[in-house]
Chains A and B, each alone.
Chain A
């Protein structure tokens, strides 16, 4: 059998979109290589999510209760499921957590891994993974030559297509095992209401917002759209906002469907972090700013006038 195992993710007790994106991608791979799709969720409440995952192609939805997140514990548990299911292909999210446990899982399973894939196709029974390299200045296609082929996949890079799977629900007895890093405390006060890494819309502010007191203008638009708030390096270095909002080479790499850059000039390091966004809107007074080279829609105007107008216009149409 050439089965595909997906590791899904939950956030605050809800299914993250990446779980459906990966299950849908796994369905296409499994259909091409002749196998089943197993989607694993780390939860003791797998029944609530089985329907959603079955609808996008999961033949089996597996719940494993591994307790609070730890990269070692998740890696131990996921590897136990791999040993049981013996998949040919494993898809994991290239999320903050996924980056950590995937590395350990790959070594445990003696598998080659392509991280941060944005394209998945099948050629000669093997998965071909496409990923941006050199800050998006080139794309590489890889095949994995080990028995198990592993991939971490960027959020928003895969289409969710309805296709009914068998949807059997299973509870795994896999456990977290020995974990040598203990969490003492967490501080989530400086964070985003919507996570940058998997946001489908991001509204970002740059030096053009002139000062930290003007973030509410950008945040209002983000809130109206249910978007994450991003920031350029200049605003972070100036101390206007915490580093967790930074998009770009020394911040986060994002691939939303829509990226709205307000007062961002578009330094190459910023473009490296958001250049793969599907649609890019640039609002900037300087018509020669490099951001306009990548913008789908360019608005050469004062953000202090356009952004509030945009927010109220969206409020009207989105109700």
Chain B
């Protein structure tokens, strides 16, 4: 089985974000693998452990994403590929999916796995777009995956519950929390990951047609409605004040 896992590097949630004109100021930003992509890497490795084959981690972005690929190596992937582009085009899911799909096409992968969304843009687009570009089925929000040759049975999260679906490889999967528990890289893994090769691909080699989005501007979040702490003598006092505030002031209930 040939498995491609998609790894996106994102700012750590706790990191401070300073907004520039069309991009953020990267100074002092701590970068991590987007948490859902960790489930994808783990699942890729588990499929290989069961069915044999090869796991290729691919990350798109500037030079710093190589760090994320080293972590993927340390977790146990077999190969790492860096699609080297300026990072802010990664806002554009169609461009990202075109570059990645063109790479994956050449690899003839059986399974493509990424997180259900990346925590920087929360778009939930790239993996399913890749499925469409490769003309393969997909399973989104996977909680469980079972392979029986080409046949795939999956449990996935849907609105209000879960669904069991059946499809076949080649396919694309998005990983939801609950699919597995990602392993920690071992010290040995981390040491040997430093020496492993990272293959670099440039957009021109992958023949993408270019970005379809224009970043007009970035701005800080809108100011919140000013908050206040309510004062009351007892629970009843808080309750009547809150009901009044929500019904007469905010008019939301």
- Do the two chains bind? yes
Residues of A within 8 A of B (CB): 71-72, 75, 95-97, 99-100, 102-104, 106-108, 111-116, 123, 128, 131-146, 180-192, 195, 197, 200-201, 225, 243-244, 249-251, 253, 257-258, 268-269, 272, 275, 278-281, 287, 292-302, 305-306, 308-310, 312-314, 317-318
Q: List 11 A-B contacts (CB under 8 A).
A: A103-B125, A115-B124, A139-B221, A146-B94, A185-B163, A186-B161, A253-B122, A272-B119, A295-B227, A310-B243, A318-B253
Among A111, A138, A243, residue most surrounded by chain B Cβ atoms (within 10 Å): A138
Note all chain B residues with C-beta closer than 8 A to A225.
253
> Contacts A181-B137, A296-B227; is A313 near B239 (CB within 8 Å)?
yes
Verify if B49 is at the interface (C-beta below 8 Å from A): no
Task: Give min CB distance, A47 to chain B, whole Å.
Answer: 26
Which residue of chain A is the closest to B214 with respect to CB atoms? A143
> Contacts A71-B138, A96-B159, A135-B13; is A102 near B164 (CB within 8 Å)?
no
- Contact (Cβ within 8 A) B216 A143: yes
Q: What per-residue 1/0 map shows which CB atoms of B206-235 lie under 8 Å from chain A?
A: 000001111111111110111111101011
A190 CA / B242 CA spacing, docked (Å):
31
Q: What per-residue 1/0 map shows which CB atoms of B165-188 lie under 8 Å from chain A?
A: 111100000000110000000000
A140 CA / B214 CA spacing, docked (Å):
10
Note all chain B residues with C-beta closer than 8 A to A191.
159-161
- Contact (Cβ within 8 A) B160 A258: no
A185 CA / B161 CA spacing, docked (Å):
11
Task: Give min CB distance, A60 to chain B, whole Å.
Answer: 27
- Contact (Cβ within 8 A) A184 B159: no
Note all chain B residues with C-beta closer than 8 A to A100.
124, 128, 138, 140
> Contacts A103-B124, A142-B216, A297-B230; is A96 near B158 (CB within 8 Å)?
yes
Where chain B touches its partner, the secondary structure class is mixed
Count A/B pairs, Cβ under 8 Å.
Answer: 261
> Contacts A113-B125, A183-B163, A281-B246; is A107 near B94 (CB within 8 Å)?
yes
A309 CA / B24 CA spacing, docked (Å):
45
Which residue of chain B is the closest to A142 with respect to CB atoms? B213
From A107, A141, A200, give the contact of B129 (CB < 8 A). Answer: A107
Which residue of chain B is the closest to A108 with respect to CB atoms? B132
> Contacts A99-B140, A144-B213, A314-B243; is A186 near B163 (CB within 8 Å)?
yes
Q: How large is the interface on B (under 10, 10 to 19, 20 to 34, 35 or more residues)?
A: 35 or more
Which residue of chain B is the closest to A303 with respect to CB atoms? B235
- Contact (Cβ within 8 A) A244 B160: yes
A217 CA / B198 CA spacing, docked (Å):
54
Which residues of chain B from 134 to 172 have any CB-CB distance to chain A below 8 Å in the complex?
136-141, 153, 157-168
From B120, B126, B167, B232, give the contact of A133 (CB < 8 A). Answer: B120
- Contact (Cβ within 8 A) A244 B157: yes
- Contact (Cβ within 8 A) A184 B253: no
Note all chain A residues with C-beta closer than 8 A to B246.
258, 279, 281, 297
- Contact (Cβ within 8 A) B35 A250: yes
Q: What per-residue 1/0 map shows which CB atoms of B89-131 lie under 8 Å from chain A?
A: 0011110010000000000000000000001111111111101
Which residue of chain A is the closest to B154 with respect to CB atoms? A181
A301 CA / B239 CA spacing, docked (Å):
11
Task: Give min CB distance, A149 to chain B, whole Å.
Answer: 9
